[in-house]
Structure 1
Amino acid sequence: EMDAKIKKAFKDLAVPPKPAATKVAIMIADLIRKAPSSGQDAVRKQLLQRYEEKGLIWEGGALPVLVTLINQVQEKPILEAVSLALWQVLIGFEGSEAAGAAKILVQLCKDKSLLVQAHATAALLELGSAGSHFRVQILEAGGLESLTTVIASIDSDEVITKQGVNKLIPYKPGQRQEAAAGALRILGQEPAAQELVARAGTMRHLISICETCTAPEGSKTREAAAGALFGFLQLSTNRALLVEAGGVPALIATADTASDEARMLAAGALWELSLEVDLRPDLIRAGAVPSLLALCAPGRSDATH
């Protein structure tokens, strides 16, 4: 039996959107976010159920409606709320179809609102994690290029001020870059993505994150960037590209000072680089050997070892 609050959410959703769309979208997101962690998946499953009432049929539940709403709204508060709801619905997504969400989410990465970008990049991370066919859809829609543009931008004080304050949905500086780097890491599983990074300039921007996100509040962003770099080094030409872009010192610094997860990923990236005989002198000159030896010390995780 569908929960009464979820039934109300379905009834209040409307295409074309009504003035209450912001409130309804946040209500949908809160049904998930405010549920106990053990019950959030159950809420999502209900929201994704086929819904029918008075001749109105929604295959896929709230997902196709949210995608349709995004296509029809321009008002910033509504778009921020609906993109938040779409992201929350897609967390842990296991479906085979996503109502064209890949294309619209890639488009939202270009929106002027930092919140919309943050929600879209986080949703792309979830959708890309759901399977190869979704990753291909994201790539075909220009997702790698759009995500690269997001990680290349900086949340300066001026940018944050221009964004303004949404009292209902807070924005944390660096939130969109962290999610975008995570989505890029997922896309790196696809051979087509390996081929695209050189043209998009993705590698140098990921390197920049590893170099600059050294404060504690940037640790997750740095971790995601190190993971993305590791993933993109499956291709031999990308290994050479990273070295040419000055990425070895950034990986060494990450391996020396970052979180345990970031250290492991940076060590993995250095391992990938070491597979190229011609690049080994670059690793030695940059000081990779002492850093890697330090990671072998007792107390490190088995994966890092």
Structure 2
Amino acid sequence: MTILVTGGAGYIGSHTCLELLQAGHQVLVFDNFSNGHPEALKRIEQLAGRRLTLVRGDIRDQDAVEAALRQHGCTAVVHFAGLKAVGESVEQPLRYYDNNVVGTQRLLAAMHNCGVNTIVFSSSATVYGDPQRLPLAEDHPLSATNPYGRSKLFIEDMLRDLYRANPDWRIAILRYFNPVGAHASGRIGENPLGTPNNLMPFVAQVAIGRRDFLNVWGGDYATADGTGVRDYIHVVDLALGHLKALQRLDVPQCTEINLGTGNGYSVLEVVKAFEVASGRAVPYRVSPRRAGDVAACYADPSYAERFLGWKAQRGLADMCRDHWNWQEQNPEGYV
């Protein structure tokens, strides 16, 4: 198969491109590098021992997407391209709706015009809103507590509407929890531009000395130590989940699938595990809660195991070890 991967130079996209190449697929990366880095693609090729193809472009440019799909004979799309910071989305909602929702609508229109009807969509556990029950299964009521989450929910609804209108489509909606870690080689990993918006890269930058301390957003949640609890998943496990999802899109369907471990870890548990992995202290300060955050969020991943034959294999110690290996080898990221 020739797979168009939007946002393929980003964190999750780059790891998924590597797994796709290693599985024998042809990969076409479509990226504007707003969150990705060209160096990641060079390293993917080195690790895989195979070439990929790059088209630099924005998914809101429907003509450019159509041209890429036709020229390269793409048969499926894995869609990562999107803005993803909760706090930033609260401050800049129109930017998130434009990039994420409008961009996806134009991508789907381009696919429709080119006769490509297979897509794996990068959604998020934020579509569950403030959890009514834990762990979160796919039938949990959907809502959103911030514009980022709403943009993902709008896209999910768009995909479900598309399938109802065109039941020949093959759609997998993958709801991620919190991707962390890096490839075991340390050659590719998370490369946040500016201040990291996610916990693990911020912790790593404190450990390596790029930042003085970690801000812990909220210390008064109804959790064991008062800090937010999340389901962290190794990015390689996540990438392998995309490969499994593509394999299961052999018949028309529209399916939602959680990709998580089923285990929740608090912010302070992650900090302590990272200190063990790195041998470095990670000083922190507790700050007021961040708008749009919830106390706890972790998956029921049993459907993924039943339907995809997929299960996360790497634990928190592996996540911290591999992320630290990446950070030590690349103290300034891909620069």
| Pair in the same fold by TM > 0.5 | no
Q: Which has the higher strand share?
A: 2
Alignment TM-score, normalising by the size of structure 2: 0.28
Bigger radius of gyration among the two:
1
Alignment TM-score, normalising by the size of structure 1: 0.30
Structure showing greater relative contact order (alpha-carbon pairs closer than 8 Å, 6 or more residues apart): 2
